[in-house]
Structure 1
């Protein structure tokens, strides 16, 4: 500015011209590299960064692009909301060293084989995208590759043998895909993973790998730290060669079908060991020389019956010991509880007997002792011990006295919510969220999913405070624009993984720019970037959504568009953009300070209760919602209920949502609105419909959910949706729904009862995964383990004991779920012609005949003529146990999940879904070329014979 004031107009114009000429000469991008990016922009990718304008990616500093000598060397576009396919053009960026497309869930299709042309590539991550098909064999030609992350996609096929050529690789992650086949090792004609002697991480969990773990995979030359093969279909024994790898720190082989004797002697560096839910036999392995062990879980195996081994007490670093259902017997030694770091002991469902005495030298960190379903007859009570003690199912629980406190089904320590540790008002202001430092901003939000941790108890807030501080310090040391971090809502998912909600708040502004956002999300999934986060291990980061820039950065996009409109006057326009941006920012701050608290008008007279207490949700304006639904057009109505109507909406950026709008003046609507907004802001699970935000303005109460595209389970069973569900797919939907409910019951503190479980509240997404919806009648369970209230729910699904006692518990949801299971079997509604489905099935069953003779009487015709109905009898038995009249005879939802998992494994899931057009009789079977005649339900059973009406119980 000072220089320009000293010059005349001609000198200024000359200087500008000279600068532009130098700029044009000095900052050129290789024409071939520019052609690749142009092809991606024009033909393949949507939602590209707004800075990708002009013809010089290197000189114009396109976001996510770094160059050297006019060649593109880095593409870091993590979490940018990219949509489309990755074409073969990417193979022409031959100078590329780092390619990070992670957390772009709308990137689909196959990875192109031409990716093997990127010979200089050292880092490749597509974690958290939606790529499918086989993993290209050509990746094995990337000899410089150090880091390869393909997790959380939809890849199928086998692990390529060619990966054995990646001799510099230290990180290989294929977690959470559909990869099958055997683990490849080298042979006379092909390389294999055993050649990767320098690798440190094998992360193969949550796939469909089968066969044995090849002994050849391990050798004394390897530097392996992690062997994570959990939740696959591996069989055979654990090879003894694994003991040759003395560097091993974590072994995770749980949830397979491994058998035989276990020998892990000599692995003195081991810190975590997971062997649960296999078929292991022989003597229990001796782990006494593993002084670094912190976490041991060998539950649900068939080891030889034995007393508690002495080495249990010798592990001084041990925090967690889980040995449920391992044939332990005899007395419990006092020394078992004395290890200084011990927090959790789970020895339930064994044959331990005699007197329980934890002594006086027990660990003061001990928070849980679970000895349910044993033969304990006496207890020497220690009044100083304030942790949880579970003795249900022992003979001692038949006695009266103080001991009754330990015989309650559910004792869970209160889990602190770190999101509530700051005292600032966290009400919505201009769609922003309050940080731990009481600054309103737009954070990066998502979930940290830890593959293993060295503790079981989730109640110690110091762990999470330490994690927040560690992550913040690490980001700031890398000069990344992070002000503060909040972790909250700690929980374990159905596979036992610890999940934490994560919010990362920006510094120096109320939002991240694209470069900062991408660098942070990229680093979150670069596990090697972080120092050891004891007691937290490796993790995946799951980004909440890809709307960050399409929703929040309109003003900055305007500036960029203006700046790109006249290249010849770039400097002048940059100045103009800066002025416009500053003006817009000032005006936005002024608007934000004038906005009213969205809940200021909440009814405080007691009818609707206190104002909602929420965190992490977006606050939508009425105008935004109105625009997204085309002024609440009838054409966008996708459902109705006692609460109001549900509309399909399209937000800025093309994101589809479901908008639940309360009827104006509805008191019940106010109560349900508050219930759903509070509960769903606290929880997150892939089998629960996610709440994205809300709108609360005078006279309007609306909830904004993720859009679930295939309607309800009720619509599919009835044929209304046009989706024909195979038997295997019905089992999968039942499992999805059960997992969602089990999460509410057993992984949320305090637990949540849904209270309106029914087939119309199970929604199906585009992959036909089941999601539990509609939490308007849900309640938190207090210390009494039940809720007393007027009966809520839908006739036909209501627990009869709840109806009589007015007390609802988790077992009330189990009953309702059992009715849904019977719907899946019969295709009928809960009540027809005054006949109750539970009674109808009981009368029709004949356990002496094949399929209980149901196929000839009441089995849904859609599946009755299938060539196989594997697991039907077990599914029927489980459903009838769920609908037992007495709650005590019903299983828990977690037990239901385990049984359906076993049934589904028996059924060998194949053809996923069969579609039936509503307008004709064409039959399309996904994953199968088999065509069969279609039974038209409307012809087989006239609509008059299946009257259906839901009676809401108020």
Structure 2
């Protein structure tokens, strides 16, 4: 222990000495510290003595100091350590779409006083947003959306007088919206802000009237999908600059204030799915309004409002289930830009007349579930306009076959057209671009939250978006050959979603520099889409397999200065290092428990193993064909995973630690001793390990059918019916029960998820990946107090709040997996949480709890899936907020066994043995993807505990 402390002190002295002596660059010390803190940093991050040369990809400087760090979608993993807060000249920090960047945002963020843009979109950050954020007085953009931040919105944000863009969408924020008073600031003080994006959270309370005032310059107010209640404040009408208002999917009630029509610059008004009452709001005078959605509110019964036909910019009218009644005026359909009218589920009667010069852009009139008696339509409009009158009086007569009496599903299949080039094919995983070039594209989806149009079939719309993107790339000097747009659609939140593929120019794939430049260009602050899209959007990229980066040389100046500095301190460093090595020499065996252990002779320090054997490096090198690329079946934060074959033919999976991720010898010894004691048919078995030639490797049994997630998503080609899903659930539950009740010592897995449940050749479930597991000692038989780690969406909220890890934390995660098994949905998808989705959708008074909309159709509904309701009940008990309300895994196993008995199966036989005939497809040598969800990899924040000293 003393030696370790002395060594740390000496190393610290060396680093501090170099940073003080070096006249050229102090920031390089902190860059190197970041390189040590994070995994998967760009390979070009060498040991340059100049932080401002091209070796540091994603780093930009001004006057010799680091002013910009942009590392979006680089597959970084780790936490925001104290080192990043040392860049006191930093102006832009963008670490977006690195899902394995986890942990909290510490108060030290306030050190970045010159920061203008803080962008941490789509990462894995948790915990509260610190009040210290309000000390960043230069901040103009704060984008923390699509993380798992909790707690309330800091009132201190109101002190950011220069803030233009505030985006906290898609977190778990609670509490009320802060407004100022005599002692505290609030969001109402942000008179220069144009964007309040606070949707998809759990904000509660009323929308405070004091939030709005006439000095504000807001153009986008997004409060959708929260738990807000009370009335819409009349003060909203004071902010006449507003262009988009989204208050939908809350619990707002009462009358819509008459002042709403003061918003004369508004193009999109979304008030749907609330509990609004009183008269239908009068929107007269809102002449720029394109898109209005008032659906699913309880307005007073009334005829279609007269303002319909006066707002000539309208493209979309949605008033589903709003108590409309009476006959529709013919003028309604003459609005010149009208594309879609949805007035379904009302009490509209009389005759529908669409004969008087309807809009040439009109595509859909949905009036199903009304009381319409007649329909008049000119023949020339019959094919161009889709009319839906199902469940109206006109369609209830026997023998009616008119096509307008059936429901209609509009499927859009647009994709960017080919540029007059002949047919061609590409090898390997390359894709043919619209310019007929074979390349590996950078893919993602772009979401527009409030487009002004409804039509998804107008190719001119997508051409304008394509041209805007290409102009952006050309202006930025990016080597993008073309962009392909595909599959435009509206999602459940009424966002327009378009899939994009970006193709590189002149090379088969982008390198890291190219991806960094693309990510920076696609920021909402940089790219403004063409008219009609409204630039409230976000881009979600897919992970990308990079070309190896070019290793840059340090600048000559850096070499000269570095050499001079090195000469000055060389003697001192040698003395310090020599002293350090001398002090370390005697206790070497204690620091490296395997240092004197020869696995062939059984000498001292041998770990106490049960059933696991040691391998030499040469053996594993031979079994994997020298760790060849073809044997590489995955990777994670710990390192690469290779497939191998033992001399007896047994297949193995070898998890090989990458440089920099190896833990200490003592910790490695403890881990293999723990894993070697785990033996159960529903737990992936440890065959052995390698601690040789500086390598640390774990050798597991190879599981041929990959992860449960791969089968649920269809990626593996295996179809899982209800019976098979039930058997898999029981197998996985038994594996966890074994860890809790029978392992010695008991083990809490801490990262239960569908990617850590593997399926063997008979589709028997096996729990895998113990990188975050915690044993329960004799002194801590009920819980372990430990730093919060795990995967967002599966994590126990009680563990997160108290930092007390219990066996019931695994129960919670398993409950989420159970919901994933019956829905085939991700736990968190586009900001929507599967637990909440199921709870809100279910109705116990109806068949299958009325969950058919959220259940995976592949389960099969041709016959009643017996036991599914009990399965849902059990899953929801597992995801109760507090651990004392959840069952133990032993109780979960018993209930699953009872469900199997209910449907006539013997749980003792069926869950442990089945044949390949029980599912579609045959057992195969599964090709594990090179992604964060690979076999036995530490994924989605699931990093080995050794990387986080506790």
Alignment TM-score, normalising by the size of structure 2:
0.63
Q: Using the TM superposition, give the Cα deviation of residue 249 of structure 1 relative to its aligned residue in structure 2, in angstroms.
A: 0.3
Given candidates 313, 320, 324, the residue that maps to 1:317 is 313
Distance (Å, rounded) in 1 between the aligned partners of 2:792 and 2:114: 37
Aligned to 1:375, the other structure's residue is in SS state coil
Distance (Å, rounded) in 2 between the aligned partners of 1:38 and 1:519: 22
Flag the structure with more relative contact order, 1 or 2, with Cα contacts below 8 A and sequence separation at least 6: 2
Q: 1:72 to 1:567 in 2, by over 3 A?
A: closer
Aligned to 1:630, the other structure's residue is in SS state strand
Q: 1:569 to 1:269 in 2, by over 3 A?
A: closer
- Tell me the residue number matched to 1:359: 355
Distance (Å, rounded) in 1 between the aligned partners of 2:521 and 2:920: 51
- Tell me the residue number matched to 2:10: none
Q: Using the TM superposition, give the Cα deviation of residue 521 of structure 1 relative to its aligned residue in structure 2, in angstroms.
A: 0.7
Given candidates 195, 219, 223, the residue that maps to 1:225 is 219
Distance (Å, rounded) in 1 between the aligned partners of 2:818 and 2:64: 61
1:520-531 equivalence runs, <5 A: 520-527=518-525, 529-530=527-528
- Tell me the residue number matched to 2:58: 64
CA deviation string 1:859-895 (max 9, x = no partner) = xxxxxxxxxx9999933524166799xxxxx9999xx
Distance (Å, rounded) in 1 between the aligned partners of 2:69 and 2:885: 44
Equivalent pair of 2:134/2:158 in contact (CA under 8 Å): yes
Kindly report the root-mean-square deviation, in angstroms, between the aligned alpha carbons of the 2 structures. 4.8
- Tell me the residue number matched to 1:125: 119
- Tell me the residue number matched to 2:616: none
CA deviation string 1:268-327 (max 9, x = no partner) = 101001111000011001112111111011000001100011111111111111100000
Q: 1:514 to 1:251 in 2, by over 3 A?
A: same
Distance (Å, rounded) in 1 between the aligned partners of 2:204 and 2:112: 31
Distance (Å, rounded) in 2 between the aligned partners of 1:58 and 1:29: 14
Given candidates 733, 749, 757, the residue that maps to 1:720 is 733
- Tell me the residue number matched to 2:32: 38
Equivalent pair of 2:148/2:171 in contact (CA under 8 Å): yes
Q: Using the TM superposition, give the Cα deviation of residue 629 of structure 1 relative to its aligned residue in structure 2, in angstroms.
A: 3.5
Is residue 42 of structure 2 the alignment partner of residue 48 of structure 1? yes
CA deviation string 1:450-484 (max 9, x = no partner) = 12111223222221121111111122122222221
Distance (Å, rounded) in 2 between the aligned partners of 1:891 and 1:624: 36
1:509-908 equivalence runs, <5 A: 509-527=507-525, 529-530=527-528, 532-545=530-543, 547-549=544-546, 553-554=547-548, 556-557=549-550, 628-630=642-644, 634-635=651-652, 714-716=727-729, 720=733, 722=735, 766-767=791-792, 874-875=843-844, 877-879=846-848
**Count of matched residue pairs:** 674
1:911-930 equivalence runs, <5 A: 913=879, 928=883
Equivalent pair of 2:316/2:454 in contact (CA under 8 Å): yes
Q: 1:536 to 1:937 in 2, by over 3 A?
A: closer
Distance (Å, rounded) in 2 between the aligned partners of 1:723 and 1:320: 52
Between 1:62-71 and 1:361-370, the stretch displaced more is: 62-71
Given candidates 175, 180, 198, the residue that maps to 1:186 is 180
Given candidates 440, 443, 446, the residue that maps to 2:441 is 443
Distance (Å, rounded) in 2 between the aligned partners of 1:79 and 1:659: 30
- Tell me the residue number matched to 2:96: 102
Q: Using the TM superposition, give the Cα deviation of residue 33 of structure 1 relative to its aligned residue in structure 2, in angstroms.
A: 1.6
Equivalent pair of 1:90/1:114 in contact (CA under 8 Å): no
CA deviation string 1:174-206 (max 9, x = no partner) = 111111111011122211100001100000111
Is residue 303 of structure 2 the alignment partner of residue 307 of structure 1? yes
- Tell me the residue number matched to 1:78: 72
CA deviation string 1:624-656 (max 9, x = no partner) = 65984436964569xxxxxxxx999xxxxx9xx
Is residue 110 of structure 2 the alignment partner of residue 116 of structure 1? yes
Structure 1's unaligned 5+ residue stretches are: 1-23, 571-619, 638-645, 649-653, 664-685, 693-701, 706-710, 725-735, 738-757, 771-820, 829-868, 885-889, 894-899, 915-925
Aligned to 1:99, the other structure's residue is in SS state strand
Q: 1:523 to 1:872 in 2, by over 3 A?
A: closer
Q: 1:67 to 1:953 in 2, by over 3 A?
A: closer
Equivalent pair of 2:529/2:535 in contact (CA under 8 Å): no
CA deviation string 1:892-925 (max 9, x = no partner) = 99xxxxxx9xxx9xx9x998649xxxxxxxxxxx
Distance (Å, rounded) in 1 between the aligned partners of 2:712 and 2:561: 50
- Tell me the residue number matched to 2:155: 161
Alignment TM-score, normalising by the size of structure 1:
0.63
Given candidates 183, 190, 200, the residue that maps to 1:206 is 200
- Tell me the residue number matched to 1:455: 453
Q: 1:382 to 1:871 in 2, by over 3 A?
A: closer
Distance (Å, rounded) in 2 between the aligned partners of 1:659 and 1:381: 66
Q: 1:69 to 1:880 in 2, by over 3 A?
A: closer
- Tell me the residue number matched to 2:594: none
Distance (Å, rounded) in 2 between the aligned partners of 1:369 and 1:500: 24
- Tell me the residue number matched to 2:678: none
Given candidates 374, 378, 382, the residue that maps to 2:378 is 382
Given candidates 335, 339, 361, the residue that maps to 1:339 is 335
Distance (Å, rounded) in 1 between the aligned partners of 2:513 and 2:33: 22
Is residue 361 of structure 2 the alignment partner of residue 348 of structure 1? no
Distance (Å, rounded) in 2 between the aligned partners of 1:659 and 1:396: 63
Distance (Å, rounded) in 2 between the aligned partners of 1:122 and 1:46: 26
Distance (Å, rounded) in 1 between the aligned partners of 2:50 and 2:508: 30
Q: Using the TM superposition, give the Cα deviation of residue 436 of structure 1 relative to its aligned residue in structure 2, in angstroms.
A: 1.9
Equivalent pair of 1:527/1:538 in contact (CA under 8 Å): no
Q: 1:40 to 1:468 in 2, by over 3 A?
A: same
- Tell me the residue number matched to 1:432: 430
Given candidates 488, 497, 500, the residue that maps to 1:499 is 497
Is residue 169 of structure 2 the alignment partner of residue 175 of structure 1? yes
